[in-house]
Amino acid sequence: MNTIKIAILDDYQQVSLKMTDWSVLKNVEITVFGDHEKKPEALVTRLIPFHVLCVMRERTPLTKEILSALPNLKLIVSTGRRNASIDKNALEALGIDFKHTGYVMTGAPELTWALLMAAARNIVRENANFRSGKWQTTIGIDLEGKTLGIVGLGNIGSKMAGYARAFNMRVIAWSENLTKEKAEAAGAQWVTKEQLFRQSDFVSIHLVLSDRSRGIIGEDDLRRMKPTAFLINTSRGPLVDERALINTLKQKEIAGAMLDVFNEEPLPADHVLRQLDNVLATSHIGYVTQNTYQVFYDDSVKAIQAWLATRI
């Protein structure tokens, strides 16, 4: 059997080869790409030699056009349970095998709560002021008695509800398919969408991106928010109308936004969201944890191992 060429894409932290034992894969050649290539033509040129691609969540879109230009490609292993940026129909038509890895559910809600806490207590600003020699420059927000509005009460949203209850917050929730009974089972009160945005001190979004949910948070929703309220989005950028959000933040109509996801990723260095002083943001690191990465790369190796066994 000829040497199998494997590419690991978008390994921003350069940790993929340290997270698991790749040496169990025999007769393979592994190349790690730490940078992100967004130009389709350059991406095709980069990937043409490879038989196997290990892709990280939705960092590199693999469209029908790109996949059709990779004649050597036989297998894609994607981290996580879903990857909306890969054309599954094209994979089937081209005869390319597709596998996915397991996932650790705790990273995203923990980061979401960290962003909420950091905004409530002005952690970033106070740390910067401390380093510059200042002392006690802001006044924080007490969480007890405040209202957390959760848009989407699934696995992650339900965890957020549990965190909020531990801080004696009121929890309300809405989504298109949420019922009063399901909300109560998760420790939340069902409300209408309009009520959620009017009543919440913090709005946290936890929906799966689809054609139906794209732009589900629009200008009218943002206008209903209190001027002291915060919007948190650690799910997917396009769930929120970006232009409306930017205008809302520029005009200081809400206290701020805590963001981990964006319409375009990586976010351009000159993007306006990087410049607004009422934005606290991270670079889509909700799932970027030690345990999660170990599952991702352990399972990637196992998937490739099983696939290679079918070729013997």
Are 141 and 269 members of one domain?
A: yes
Active-site entry in 59, 100, 206, 284: 284
pTM: 0.93
The CATH code of the domain that includes 22 is: 3.40.50.720
Q: What is the pLDDT along the chain (312 residues), one digit of tens a residue?
A: 589 999 999 999 999 999 999 999 999 999 999 999 999 999 999 999 999 999 998 899 999 999 999 999 999 999 998 888 899 999 999 999 999 999 999 999 999 999 999 999 999 999 999 999 999 999 999 999 999 999 999 999 999 999 999 999 999 999 999 999 999 999 999 999 999 999 999 999 999 999 999 999 999 999 999 999 999 999 999 999 999 999 999 999 999 999 999 999 999 999 999 999 999 999 999 999 999 999 999 999 999 999 999 986
236 is an active site residue: yes
Are 111 and 218 members of one domain?
A: yes
Are 87 and 15 members of one domain?
A: yes
Task: With H, G, I as helix, E, B as strand and everything else as coil, classify residue 202.
Answer: strand
CA distance 54 to 242: 30
Are 120 and 27 members of one domain?
A: no
**Residues found in the chain:** 312
Number of domains in the chain: 2
265 is an active site residue: yes
Are 140 and 79 members of one domain?
A: no
Nearest one of 207, 205, 213, 252 to 231, comparing CA atoms: 205
Active-site entry in 236, 242, 243, 264: 236
Are 68 and 198 members of one domain?
A: no
Active-site entry in 194, 265, 274, 311: 265
CA distance 291 to 294: 5
Are 125 and 261 members of one domain?
A: yes
Are 113 and 251 members of one domain?
A: yes
Are 161 and 141 members of one domain?
A: yes
Domain boundaries, position 84: 4-104+289-309
Cβ neighbours of 167 (radius 10 Å): 16
Nearest one of 85, 24, 86, 294 to 75, comparing CA atoms: 86
Are 66 and 52 members of one domain?
A: yes
